[in-house]
């Protein structure tokens, strides 16, 4: 048991280290910030002085060593543009992104579970056709395009919701629906197929034979059994939502990590790009680790795997 | 059976939650920003969006008015020494910073000292001065190493006056988070990535300004979202729109489209060093042929629906010294181009590579391909070499490209000197063409403090760069913005600069 935990934690740490190395060198392949940050007219002497000031004139291995030493101490460096600790900047934007991802997940669940349940309980009926149709749409429509469509319809056309920004509660509706749409599609299909499976079990047939009402069978007998696969993908869904929020945040001018990442990449703000990607990977890896560990606790057979 | 009550219930809930766009009070001006300002400390505002926002908080010694004239701001008067290297400014008395600190000669000295720190993006704008010293409380003497024609405009565009005591007390980083200036607006709050809120400075030294009580900048990175925001009335100014987006505004009530020529010249650069050595473009006649043989008018029509100006050279409309009568673009004359090529010894043309910064500017990929196709008509086989923008601009002298490359250069001084100097003074980072006559004339312009004399020199420069062109001149783009139809006094400038102190709403 202990060795299973140790192995999984060790693997995750190695993965995070891999991400650190990969991100550090990949962003540096994209160009030299000095050439891009300074005004085009900046004289060569100023470029040299600026590079020295920012530590960008040192050989790459030296920069990497310095960076890793910092990371070990919890120091992820300063943003080249904002001249502030990157962790501070990430922390500012984190709540907005979490809020949006949670709202998107809530939307996906609220639509997907009832629809998938209803469709799965009555396969071939109009509800099922609807469930499958919405599920397919969810998995195929690109979310940024949906976001633009929502803005044109519901903000500009109907005036029901704000077109952008993070203000009151109404401002989260459009981005959350656009972001959660794909996850919703996946969850509908998952719920529906799980329901189809459970529906065939003896205990459901018994319940129906006893004359229990359809709704009661769905909620009391089928739903709890379907809940297991749904809950197990939620964590992964959430990490997808965090990643997917980049497009949606830009479209809706939502001040989260997504818009920050977009700007940081465009500005070749290496330390900031590193901090954001490492944080997002860390989060995703942790969720996977926790899911794995939970499985291991529940199912002893997996510990050997 | 489970009845699907949840969806309609959700929709109903959504309908209840809908306060949305409440009509704005007309004393609040909301302006969109296409990116979140990196800093509000002027020397570190690394893009136009940031400096535009920052200028609402600050003033400089002098100010360039809407007609391009230098007028007093925090300096009421100034004199320039005979040799053009010494400036004495008389400062405005009774001006205070937003925190109550008095503006005086020490503030000017401190502004120069903090600004010249080499870690600042715009340190070079401050190192244009050799020394800044207080003669008395309200008199300052500034010296420059050499006569500098654009020194006053450099000050006007960069030297935002900062309060020394406050900076000493809180440090520069904290200052950048909570900036204090003498400007028309005071900083209230900032939500990163979202908005910057300012309020009118009640003690502003210019009478009757600013015209609104509150100023809010909203960060909206996506152009189509900015378009939506102006249509819903959530913002009063939506900048950086495309011609297509503006077309979508036709018939929209309460919205007015603003369009103006950008002071930015697109061009094809040549190299008479590195990859360009020993290639046909070293021959003057070949470079002339390429200028005559490029259908820039056709390109403007096809790619920009005619919404761009064919560039006559590096001195363009709105620049000092520009003369519409004598400065016209090269005509499209493929026959003459072929004749020139034949004269130069290339009757069947030649092959050459041209670098292109992929997606680096609006429609630039299409422009590069159109250039290749147009020059193909005169027998010059251009191979377009697309590069990522970062690689393109991070190497000195466009090292990643072949003998020709596409780029653009803007100017914020109403004069062509920044792009002339940047592109054509040997040794500069983006210089790829060395021509002694041009280099000497650049120096002469830089040292000529007299405006009229300078205008004349620009005329000479145009001639020189026309007879022996270091570039193929392409176009100047048109900028599109949309504003609330009731907005008054909004006058963006050719360098995409705008100042909001005299912007207000019609009653």
For chain A, domain boundaries: 86-266
DSSP reduced 3-state for B63? strand
**CB of A165 within 8 Å of any CB in chain B?**
yes
Alpha helices in B333-450 (DSSP H): 334-343, 364-376, 389-394, 417-424, 436-447
* Alpha carbons B225 and B240: distance in angstroms, whole number: 11
Which chain B residue shows the shortest CA-CA distance from A247? B222
Label residue B103 left, alpha or beta by phi (over 0 means left) and psi (-120 to 50 means alpha).
beta
List per-residue pLDDT tens for chain B, 507 residues long.
Answer: 334 444 444 444 444 444 444 444 469 999 999 989 989 999 988 788 899 999 999 999 999 988 888 899 999 999 999 998 999 999 999 999 999 999 999 999 999 999 998 888 888 899 999 999 999 999 999 999 999 988 999 999 999 999 999 999 999 889 999 999 999 999 999 999 999 999 999 999 999 999 999 999 999 999 999 999 999 999 999 999 988 888 888 888 899 999 999 999 999 999 999 899 999 999 999 999 999 999 999 999 999 888 899 999 999 998 999 999 999 999 999 999 999 999 999 999 999 999 999 888 888 999 999 999 999 999 999 999 998 877 788 778 898 899 999 999 988 788 999 999 999 999 888 999 999 999 999 999 999 988 899 999 999 999 999 999 999 999 999 999 999 999 999 999 988 889 999 999 997
Domain B62-168: give its CATH code. 3.90.76.10
In the prediction, which pLDDT does A304 show? 59
Report DSSP state, residue B403. S
**CB of B198 within 8 Å of any CB in chain A?**
no
Interhelix angle B334-343/B284-292, nearest 10 degrees: 170
Q: Do A163 and B228 touch (CB under 8 A)?
A: yes
DSSP string, chain A: -HHHHHHHHHHHHHHHHHHHHHHHHHHHHT--HHHHHS-TT--HHHHHHHHHHTTTTS-HHHHHHHHHHHHHTT---B-TTT-SBHHHHHHHHHHHHHHHHHHHHHHHHHHHHHHHHHHHHSTTSHHHHHHHHHHHHHHHS-HHHHHHHHIIIIIIIS--S-SSSS-STHHHHHHHHHHHHHHHHHHHHHHHHHHHHHHTSHHHHHHHHTT--HHHIIIIIIHHHHHHHHHHHHHHHHHHHHHHHHHHHHHHT-TTHHHHHHHHHHTT-HHHHHHHHHHHHHHHHHHHHHHHHHHHHH-GGGGG-
Does domain B264-477 bear CATH number 3.30.1330.10?
A: no
pLDDT for residue A43 is more than 80: no
What residues contact residue A192 under an 8 Å CB cut-off, 6+ apart?
A116, A117, A119, A120, A128, A131, A132, A135
* Alpha carbons A138 and A166: distance in angstroms, whole number: 24
Largest CA distance in chain B: 95
Q: Which of residues 79-98 of A touch B (CB under 8 A)?
A: 81-84, 89, 92-93, 96
Contact B397, B365 (CB under 8 A): no
Chain B residue numbers with beta carbons less than 8 Å from the beta carbon of A263 are 35-36, 221
For tokens 């109009």, the residue is: A126
* Alpha carbons B44 and B460: distance in angstroms, whole number: 36
In the prediction, which pLDDT does B489 show? 93
Chain B residue numbers with beta carbons less than 8 Å from the beta carbon of A219 are 2
* Alpha carbons B423 and B206: distance in angstroms, whole number: 39
Residue A262 neighbours by CB distance under 10 Å: 17
* Alpha carbons B359 and B365: distance in angstroms, whole number: 6
Query: What's the gap between Cα A232 and its chain centre?
Result: 15
Query: What's the gap between Cα B111 and its chain centre?
Result: 23
Residues linked to residue B187 through DSSP beta bridges, in sequence order: B198
DSSP reduced 3-state for B3? coil
Give the CATH architecture of domain A86-266: Orthogonal Bundle (1.10)
Q: Which pairs with CB-CB distance under 8 Å and at least 24 residues apart come from A224-230?
A: A225/A194, A225/A198, A225/A201, A226/A117, A226/A191, A226/A194, A226/A195, A226/A198, A229/A190, A229/A194, A230/A109, A230/A113, A230/A187, A230/A190, A230/A191, A230/A194
For tokens 């570190």, the residue is: B44
Q: Which pairs with CB-CB distance under 8 Å and at least 24 residues apart come from A155-160?
A: A155/B20, A155/B228, A155/B232, A156/B228, A156/B231, A156/B232, A159/B20, A159/B21, A159/B232, A160/B14, A160/B15, A160/B18, A160/B20
By DSSP bridging, strand B75-80 and strand B86-91 are antiparallel
Which fold is adopted by the domain B14-49+173-262+479-505? D-Maltodextrin-Binding Protein; domain 2 (3.40.190)
What the block records as the tokens of B354 is 């041209």
Q: How many CA atoms lie within 13 A of A299 on its CB side?
A: 7
pLDDT for residue A298 is more than 70: no
Q: Do A253 and B409 touch (CB under 8 A)?
A: no
Chain B residue numbers with beta carbons less than 8 Å from the beta carbon of A162 are 20-21, 232, 234
* Alpha carbons A181 and A20: distance in angstroms, whole number: 31
pLDDT for residue A229 is more than 90: no
Which chain A residue shows the shortest CA-CA distance from B418? A41
**CB of B458 within 8 Å of any CB in chain A?**
no
DSSP string, B298-337: HHHHHHHTT-EEEP-SSS-TTSTT--TTT--PPP--HHHH
Find the radius of gyration of the CA atoms of chain A.
24
Q: CA nearest B113: which of B152, B168, B156, B73? A: B168
Alpha helices in B171-306 (DSSP H): 172-177, 223-232, 243-247, 284-292, 296-304
Query: What's the gap between Cα A2 and its chain centre?
Result: 30
CA torsion B499-B222-A152-B23 (nearest 10°) is: -30
pLDDT for residue A294 is more than 80: no
Q: Do B36 and A40 touch (CB under 8 A)?
A: no
Q: CA nearest B24: which of B201, B250, B230? A: B230
Contact B455, B320 (CB under 8 A): yes
* Alpha carbons B230 and B481: distance in angstroms, whole number: 10
Nearest 5°: phi and psi at B146?
A: -140, 165
What the block records as the tokens of B351 is 């092959």
What the block records as the tokens of B265 is 């010249």
Chain B residue numbers with beta carbons less than 8 Å from the beta carbon of A49 are 118, 123
Query: What's the gap between Cα B182 and its chain centre?
Result: 24
* Alpha carbons B389 and A32: distance in angstroms, whole number: 11
Q: Do B2 and A53 touch (CB under 8 A)?
A: no
What the block records as the tokens of A5 is 């935990």
Report which secondary-structure segment, H or E, holds B187: strand B185-191
> Which pLDDT band, with edges at 50, 70 and 90, does A28 fall under?
confident
Label residue B193 left, alpha or beta by phi (over 0 means left) and psi (-120 to 50 means alpha).
left
Contact A245, A95 (CB under 8 A): no
Which chain B residue shows the shortest CA-CA distance from A36? B394
Percent of chain A topping pLDDT 70: 96
pLDDT for residue A301 is more than 90: no
Nearest 5°: phi and psi at B114?
A: -65, -35
What pTM was computed for the model?
Answer: 0.86
What the block records as the tokens of A272 is 């900031």
Q: How far is B173 from chain A (nearest CA, A)?
A: 7
* Alpha carbons A147 and A253: distance in angstroms, whole number: 11
At A164-203, the pLDDT tens digits run 999 888 999 999 999 999 999 999 999 898 888 888 888 8
Contact B246, B392 (CB under 8 A): no
Q: How far is A61 from chain B (nearest CA, A)?
A: 20
At A53-74, the pLDDT tens digits run 888 888 889 999 999 999 889 8
**CB of A122 within 8 Å of any CB in chain B?**
yes
Q: Which of residues 171-190 of B touch A (CB under 8 A)?
A: 173, 176
Q: Give me the residue spans of the domains in chain B.
A: 14-49+173-262+479-505, 62-168, 264-477
Which chain B residue shows the shortest CA-CA distance from A257? B193
């Amino acid at each position: 048991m202990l060795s299973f935990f140790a192995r999984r934690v060790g693997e995750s740490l190695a993965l995070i280290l891999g991400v650190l190395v990969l991100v550090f060198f990949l962003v540096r392949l994209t160009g030299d910030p000095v050439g891009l940050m300074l005004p085009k007219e900046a004289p060569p002497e100023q470029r040299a002085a600026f590079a020295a000031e920012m530590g960008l004139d040192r050989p790459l291995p030296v920069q990497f060593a310095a960076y890793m030493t910092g990371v070990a101490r919890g120091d992820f460096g300063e943003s080249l543009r904002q001249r502030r600790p990157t962790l501070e900047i990430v922390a500012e934007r984190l709540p907005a992104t979490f809020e949006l991802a949670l709202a998107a997940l809530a939307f996906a669940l609220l639509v997907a579970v009832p629809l998938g349940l209803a469709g799965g309980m009555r396969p071939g009926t109009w509800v099922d056709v609807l469930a499958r149709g919405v599920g397919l749409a969810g998995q195929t429509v690109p979310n940024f395009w949906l976001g633009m469509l929502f803005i044109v319809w519901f903000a500009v056309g109907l005036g029901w919701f704000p077109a952008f920004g993070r203000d009151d509660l109404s401002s989260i509706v459009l981005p959350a629906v656009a972001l959660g749409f794909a996850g919703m599609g996946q969850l509908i299909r998952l719920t529906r197929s799980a329901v189809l499976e459970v529906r065939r079990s003896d205990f459901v047939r018994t319940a129906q034979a006893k004359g229990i009402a359809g709704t009661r069978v769905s909620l009391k007998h089928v739903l709890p059994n379907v809940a297991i696969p749904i809950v197990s993908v939620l964590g992964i869904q959430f990490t997808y939502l965090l990643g997917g929020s980049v497009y949606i945040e830009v479209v809706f001018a939502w001040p989260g990590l997504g818009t920050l990442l977009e700007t940081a990449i465009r500005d070749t703000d290496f330390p900031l790009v590193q901090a954001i990607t490492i944080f997002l990977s860390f989060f995703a890896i942790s969720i996977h680790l926790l899911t794995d560990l939970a499985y291991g606790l529940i199912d002893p057979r997996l510990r050997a795997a | 059976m489970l009845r699907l009550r949840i969806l309609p219930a959700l929709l109903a809930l959504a309908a209840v939650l809908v306060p949305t766009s409440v009509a704005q009070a007309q004393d609040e001006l909301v302006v969109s920003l296409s990116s979140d300002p990196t800093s509000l400390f002027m020397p570190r505002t690394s893009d136009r969006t940031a400096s535009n926002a920052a200028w609402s908080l600050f003033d400089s010694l002098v100010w360039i008015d809407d007609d391009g004239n230098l007028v007093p701001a925090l300096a009421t008067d100034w004199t320039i020494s005979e040799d053009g290297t010494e400036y004495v400014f008389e400062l405005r008395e009774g001006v205070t910073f937003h925190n109550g600190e008095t503006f005086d000669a020490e503030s000017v000295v401190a502004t120069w000292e903090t600004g010249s720190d080499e870690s600042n993006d715009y340190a070079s704008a401050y190192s244009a001065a050799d020394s800044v010293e207080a003669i008395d409380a309200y008199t300052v003497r500034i010296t420059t190493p050499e006569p500098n024609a654009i020194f006053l405009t450099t000050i006007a565009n960069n030297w935002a006056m900062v309060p020394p005591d406050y900076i000493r007390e809180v440090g520069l980083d904290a200052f950048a988070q909570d900036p204090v200036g003498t400007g028309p607006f005071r900083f209230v709050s900032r939500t990163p990535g979202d908005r910057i809120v300012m309020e009118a400075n009640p003690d502003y030294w210019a009478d009757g300004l600013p015209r609104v009580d509150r100023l809010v900048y909203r960060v909206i990175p996506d152009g189509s979202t900015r378009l939506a925001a102006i249509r819903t009335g959530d913002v009063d100014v939506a900048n950086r729109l495309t011609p297509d987006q503006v077309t979508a505004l036709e018939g929209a009530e309460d919205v007015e489209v603003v369009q103006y020529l950008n002071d930015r010249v697109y061009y094809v650069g040549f190299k008479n060093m590195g990859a360009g050595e020993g290639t046909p473009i070293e021959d003057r006649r070949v470079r002339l042929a390429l200028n005559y043989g490029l259908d820039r008018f056709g390109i403007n029509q096809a790619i920009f629906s005619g919404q761009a100006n064919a560039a006559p050279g590096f001195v363009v409309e709105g620049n000092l010294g520009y003369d519409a009568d004598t400065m016209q673009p090269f005509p499209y004359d493929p026959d003459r181009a072929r004749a020139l090529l034949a004269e130069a010894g290339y009757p069947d043309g030649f092959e050459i590579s041209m670098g292109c910064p992929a997606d680096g500017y609006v429609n630039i990929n299409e422009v590069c391909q159109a250039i290749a196709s147009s020059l193909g008509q005169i027998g010059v086989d251009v191979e377009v070499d697309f590069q990522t923008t970062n690689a393109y601009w991070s190497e000195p002298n466009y090292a990643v490209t072949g003998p020709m490359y596409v780029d653009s250069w803007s100017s914020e001084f109403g004069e062509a000197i920044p792009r002339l100097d940047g592109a054509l003074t040997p040794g500069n980072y983006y210089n790829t063409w060395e021509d002694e006559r041009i280099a000497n004339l650049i120096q002469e312009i830089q040292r000529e403090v007299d405006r009229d004399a300078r205008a004349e020199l620009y005329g000479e420069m145009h001639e020189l760069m026309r007879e022996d062109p270091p570039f193929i001149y392409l176009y100047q783009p048109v900028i599109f913005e949309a504003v609330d139809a009731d907005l008054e006094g909004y006058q963006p400038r050719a360098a995409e600069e705008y100042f909001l102190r005299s912007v207000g709403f019609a009653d």
